[in-house]
Structure 1
């Protein structure tokens, strides 16, 4: 059993949004064999109630609070220093002191870093404490992708952030023992921009908890009888989700209602932005936080993920498929998961294509149900968290063997 330092940019519990799903399951996986010292941030006061759960799991838990509005102002200091604003956003003296104290008090075999911004706390310990870095996605590419969708000065800031963050990602990956990305496509993208790190990066896919996300005949529907609910799920303060639902409401929903007047679009997810709240109306329901997303998925007539700006594997798609729902999404999201139309993952790049793909699901519920059964079978077979996250075990075992060898060599010389 090794002592591991685990650094996460957002409290990894509850697993109610994309990054927290992955960071939580990675924590659970590490705890199966190791003692994990967890350092993290809280940016949502609602998460305070979950601290006892994590304290019961880890021998030490250190939490710093972030007020997003204040942190954004603080991050602008990066314009003076020339660094990525993301690093200044997550820089905190209390976290730095805690990491140094843990390293002083406990022999650490490795640090596991979740998201590039947290590497700034592990870098001073390397190479004595080797770093394993879960980048998840190429975040720098995300910021670069945001730029054309926004006006100046945001477009300039996003473009700058992409450039500066990529430089930092390359530095971190060069220092790390191993770095991970969520899909082979993300791995290939990073290698194309950081060829010097080619031999130090690999893919580590997402999974889905198919026991939790499973249909239940006794689960009641949240929708009025006779309504054809088209559902999108996700954190609604996240720009790719905001852009996706805005696109659907503007360009797909009017076409949809011409043929299916009983169709209603449900935007299900926490923290809806002002732009999302403004979409609510007679034919659009914005739920905000719901106690359980599963009823909305199980009883939907159709599930869509119209994400024009997205990176990596979308947990929302895996969860819907596990709930026996076919999902309509764009090519980039479908490519990351790999299922075919016959396995419940339908592709559409234009509003017309989305409406066309929805037609057989809304017209023929039995057809939709049959595709849903195949969708669940696909993710059950290919997206187990345990199977995917075992990829990190090999690297940890190698680090432990290397540490034992160094200790023996030191003893012989003494």
Structure 2
């Protein structure tokens, strides 16, 4: 008979919740810990991240945090030799495998929550208890988008990754009790790619509306003076974010500066690449890197922008800005999965000219901008709180509040 505890497997330590995947995994983990004792197996990207193991210990009954240190070229070679996606090779760990085996052999685990498809490799074929797989996004579809790269060898690598990762996603979903995606469009896309999967459903991202509130912080002084001030936030070594800020700095800002010559564009986020740092040479552009708290920057901005051309799932950067009552101008891709009404709670803009025009309109009509920001705040308060997003989690895990019931498919 299965036990009552939950095993939570994540590709990244859920603390600190300072980027999209960690925000989701942190809130899911905390919700699971309210249902039953949780044991966490995960990776830490750096020694700095590993230091947050103390925060994990406050939530988890036990844990195994493995330092992710395998160089990407080595993971690539292993993937080629094994005929598997690089995404799996990069996260293979004998240490974590042995820990998972010990946890499962002890009989305490009744359910496994897999966060991100890379972690499904740690669930043994012999596991008969409840399995919930949270893919978040359809990562294989993301690599298909990357495969439009003009470099032939990169196209080949991305196509290979997309094909093999799609097989792994479908394999996991075929054995899972539930497969979760971050939005209805992602769930529908995945259902079309994994015909043998059962119980595919959306579980959206939420927002902490108490922490992200307009009056929670003072504006940063670094955005005072000449303006108006436009803001993009995000992990700045992530290719879609790099493409977005490059587009904003080089193609959209010059159009805005025809009307507002002193307009300033601020890029705030961890690990800016050399390509991102170089954008500081563009007129009115500033690259700030990591900051202790993004809220003062959101509070100070006139408009938050999200000109992503590739986006999967729900963009936390958009929800955070909306919660701070800021008007957001977003591409259709960045607005996907957020049921806000264009022109009322969010502004959606397509090509560069439309993006610039709709941003300028907000800057010219500050009362309109404030009204959209206020409506955005009301929208996330009523519809995007984490309790509402995770309300179905007990049922998905087979919990009655006293532990898990195991899989309906168990013998």
Task: Please give the range of the TM-score, normalised by the shorter of the 2 chains.
Answer: over 0.9
Separation in structure 1 between the aligned mates of residue 50 and residue 371 of structure 2, nearest angstrom = 41
1:3–1:196 CA distance, 2 compared to 1 (3 A): same
**Could you list the per-position Cα deviations for residues 196-246 of structure 1 after superposition, in whole angstroms to 9, with x for gaps in the alignment?**
22x421111110001001112761333122321110000001010001101
| Secondary structure, aligned partner of 2:279 | coil
Measured after TM superposition, the shift of residue 61 of structure 1 is 1.2
Separation in structure 2 between the aligned mates of residue 404 and residue 266 of structure 1, nearest angstrom = 49
**Could you list the per-position Cα deviations for residues 134-180 of structure 1 after superposition, in whole angstroms to 9, with x for gaps in the alignment?**
00000000011111035121111011100100011111100111110
**Could you list the per-position Cα deviations for residues 269-304 of structure 1 after superposition, in whole angstroms to 9, with x for gaps in the alignment?**
000011101111341110010011011111111111
Q: Which runs of 5+ in 1 are unaligned?
A: none
Structure number with the bigger relative contact order (C-alpha 8 A, sep ≥ 6) is 2
**Does 1:292 find its partner at 2:293?**
yes
Name the counterpart of 2:203.
204
**Over aligned residue pairs, what C-alpha RMSD do you find?**
2.0
Name the counterpart of 1:266.
266
1:125–1:365 CA distance, 2 compared to 1 (3 A): farther
Q: Which runs of 5+ in 2 are unaligned?
A: none
Measured after TM superposition, the shift of residue 48 of structure 1 is 2.4
Name the counterpart of 1:37.
39
**Does 1:194 find its partner at 2:169?**
no
Q: What number of residue pairs does the alignment pair up?
A: 405
- Between 392-401 and 109-118, report the one with greater CA deviation: 392-401
- Which one of the candidate residues 18, 21, 39 is aligned to 1:19? 21
Name the counterpart of 1:238.
238
1:54-133 correspondence runs (5 A): 54-67=56-69, 70-127=71-128, 129-133=129-133
| Secondary structure, aligned partner of 1:7 | strand
1:406–1:356 CA distance, 2 compared to 1 (3 A): closer
Name the counterpart of 1:283.
284
- Which one of the candidate residues 32, 48, 51 is aligned to 1:49? 51
**Could you list the per-position Cα deviations for residues 337-388 of structure 1 after superposition, in whole angstroms to 9, with x for gaps in the alignment?**
0211243211111010111110122112222111100000011111111111
TM-score, reference length from structure 2: 0.94
TM-score, reference length from structure 1: 0.93
1:298–1:145 CA distance, 2 compared to 1 (3 A): same
**Does 1:385 find its partner at 2:386?**
yes
1:125-164 correspondence runs (5 A): 125-127=126-128, 129-164=129-164
1:119–1:342 CA distance, 2 compared to 1 (3 A): same
Separation in structure 1 between the aligned mates of residue 274 and residue 144 of structure 2, nearest angstrom = 24
Asked if the contact 1:131/1:177 (under 8 Å) is kept, the reply is: yes
Separation in structure 2 between the aligned mates of residue 214 and residue 163 of structure 1, nearest angstrom = 42
Asked if the contact 1:2/1:33 (under 8 Å) is kept, the reply is: no
Q: Which has the higher helix share?
A: 1
Separation in structure 2 between the aligned mates of residue 340 and residue 86 of structure 1, nearest angstrom = 36
Asked if the contact 1:342/1:374 (under 8 Å) is kept, the reply is: no
Asked if the contact 2:4/2:405 (under 8 Å) is kept, the reply is: no
Separation in structure 1 between the aligned mates of residue 95 and residue 217 of structure 2, nearest angstrom = 48
1:206-355 correspondence runs (5 A): 206-216=205-215, 219-221=218-220, 222-281=222-281, 282-355=283-356
1:210–1:398 CA distance, 2 compared to 1 (3 A): closer
